[in-house]
Chains A and B, each alone.
Chain A
Amino acid sequence: MGLLTVIKKVKAKEKEIRLLMVGLDNAGKTTIVKKLCGEDVSKTSPTLGFEIKTLAHNGYKLNIWDVGGQTTLRSYWRNYYEQTEGLIWVIDSTDVRRLKDCKEELHKLLVEERLAGATLLIFANKQDISGAQSSKELLKALELDKMGERHWKIVSCSGITGDGVRKGLNWVVEDIAARIYMFNS
């Protein structure tokens, strides 16, 4: 009770969820968001800033912040952590050469205090391409064994075919909703 209950009730009225989508450049973040919105995914150009999509999903209003992943942009990611309830980390599962970079960038996020309470969804993207690492192989490479209390899940997907993207989004939204809107049912 007390303050926490009040905050939860205020939030429940709007039912807004803020999701931050990051990952290395060319991981397929924008394509996944486009697919989720039912848009054409045949052409996508590098994101040179952010792309915000506001969409309705199972009674919630989602604000998805897709921030560009190029090296020069990564140092600005921290400006988007505030109030983030769900973190979506996207991996190009075929980019074995940069798996180490991918691991290091992800681990930097995981120690961020402002993201400590955020649910983490990892999309193992580009599963439609032959040579893609399986989610099991990726987990091993990412060294995600010390996750503590965090709610997290890895989901194999393809932004191009759409396989898995809806499943991943449903999971992250349900997990957040159960934490934040628990007094609302």
Chain B
Amino acid sequence: MHTPEEVLAFKKPTEGFSCSLSDNKYKIEFLEFEIKDYDTSKSVFKVSRDDAPDLSALSLEASKGGVSLEDLARTVRYNLPKEFLKFKTVRTMLKFCVGPLEVPSFRMIERHYYKGELLRNYDFTFGFCIPNSTNTWEAVYDMPVNSKERINDMVGSPDEHVSDSFYFVEDKLVMHNKAYFKYV
């Protein structure tokens, strides 16, 4: 299993997932995620657990696509408006809950790649999480300035922007999710 130091040295997206769903013994669950333009507060993406597809729909999709249900469940596909690539500052909000165990030190490392090259790396330590708590994290980021050519290239290359999100508890990998970004 990978350590934080190892994933921080990754130079491209991983093949498959680096842990299994059952490694999440702390029962950490994501409840909501939202991306907003900081300047206008306009929401460009919002998802909550309540509107996630149910298991039978996922099973059907998994059997059609020839991927495992387990992998499908931790893959997110974002369709973002291309204006997102012009935002100067972005606000993200993540809401998650944890199970009955204390989480001693929770850390997220998220690596974004475009056409196989590292774009950005986010590294945030939440620290301790209270048993059975619901927690939120709102962050404000400055976005890179993208040239017109770059924006056109990204719009014309769906799913080339990939991210790996690794979640650690006391430096032990407990969750790994992937996301694919499409700009429309």
The chain A residues found within 8 Å of chain B, CB to CB, are 37, 48-56, 68, 73, 76, 79-80, 82
Do A55 and B136 form a contact, CB below 8 Å, given A49-B130, A76-B130, A79-B128?
A: no
> Can you list 24 A-B pairs, Cβ within 8 angstroms, ordered by A?
A37-B138, A48-B133, A48-B134, A49-B97, A49-B98, A49-B129, A49-B133, A49-B134, A50-B126, A50-B129, A50-B135, A51-B135, A51-B136, A51-B137, A53-B138, A53-B139, A54-B137, A68-B130, A68-B133, A73-B133, A76-B128, A80-B127, A80-B128, A82-B127
Question: How far apart are B99's CB and chain A's nearest CB, in angstroms?
Answer: 12
Query: Which B residues, 80 to 104, have Cβ-Cβ distances below 8 Å to chain A?
Result: 97-98
Decide: A52 and B133 in contact? CB cutoff 8 A: no
List the A side residues contacting B130 at CB < 8 Å.
49-50, 68, 73, 76, 79
Nearest residue (CB) in A for B133 is A49
Query: Which B residues, 99 to 135, have Cβ-Cβ distances below 8 Å to chain A?
Result: 126-130, 133-135
Q: How far is the CA of A37 from the CA of B128 in the complex (A)?
A: 24
Q: Considering only CB atoms and an 8 Å cut-off, how many residues of chain B contact the other chain?
A: 15
List the B side residues contacting A52 at CB < 8 Å.
126, 135-138
List the B side residues contacting A54 at CB < 8 Å.
137-140
Question: How far apart are A17's CB and chain B's nearest CB, in angstroms?
Answer: 14
Q: How far is the CA of A49 from the CA of B127 in the complex (A)?
A: 12
Q: How far is the CA of A79 from the CA of B126 in the complex (A)?
A: 11
With A48-B134, A52-B136 known, 20 other A-B pairs at CB within 8 A are A48-B133, A49-B97, A49-B134, A50-B126, A50-B133, A51-B135, A51-B136, A51-B137, A52-B135, A52-B138, A54-B138, A54-B140, A56-B140, A68-B133, A73-B130, A73-B133, A76-B130, A79-B127, A80-B128, A82-B127
Q: How far is the CA of A49 from the CA of B128 in the complex (A)?
A: 10
Q: How far is the CA of A167 from the CA of B71 in the complex (A)?
A: 49
List the A side residues contacting B128 at CB < 8 Å.
76, 79-80
Q: Is the interface of B mostly helix, strand, loop or mixed?
A: strand
List the A side residues contacting B139 at CB < 8 Å.
53-54
Q: How far is the CA of A54 from the CA of B97 in the complex (A)?
A: 19
Nearest residue (CB) in A for B129 is A49
Q: How far is the CA of A152 from the CA of B134 in the complex (A)?
A: 31
Q: How far is the CA of A120 from the CA of B126 in the complex (A)?
A: 22
Q: How far is the CA of A103 from the CA of B135 in the complex (A)?
A: 27
Decide: B135 and A49 in contact? CB cutoff 8 A: yes
Nearest residue (CB) in B for A54 is B139
Nearest residue (CB) in B for A65 is B127
Nearest residue (CB) in B for A73 is B130
Which 6 residue pairs are nearest across A and B when measured between Cβ atoms?
A: A49-B133, A79-B128, A49-B135, A54-B139, A52-B137, A51-B136
Question: How far apart are B133's CB and chain A's nearest CB, in angstroms?
Answer: 3
Q: How far is the CA of A54 from the CA of B138 in the complex (A)?
A: 6
Interface centre among A49, A53, A54, A56 (most CB of B within 10 A): A49
Nearest residue (CB) in A for B136 is A51
Q: How far is the CA of A82 from the CA of B134 in the complex (A)?
A: 21
List the B side residues contacting A82 at CB < 8 Å.
127
Question: How far apart are A47's CB and chain B's nearest CB, in angstroms?
Answer: 8
List the A side residues contacting B129 at CB < 8 Å.
49-50
List the A side residues contacting B97 at CB < 8 Å.
49
List the A side residues contacting B134 at CB < 8 Å.
48-49
List the B side residues contacting A53 at CB < 8 Å.
138-139
List the B side residues contacting A51 at CB < 8 Å.
135-138
List the A side residues contacting B126 at CB < 8 Å.
50, 52
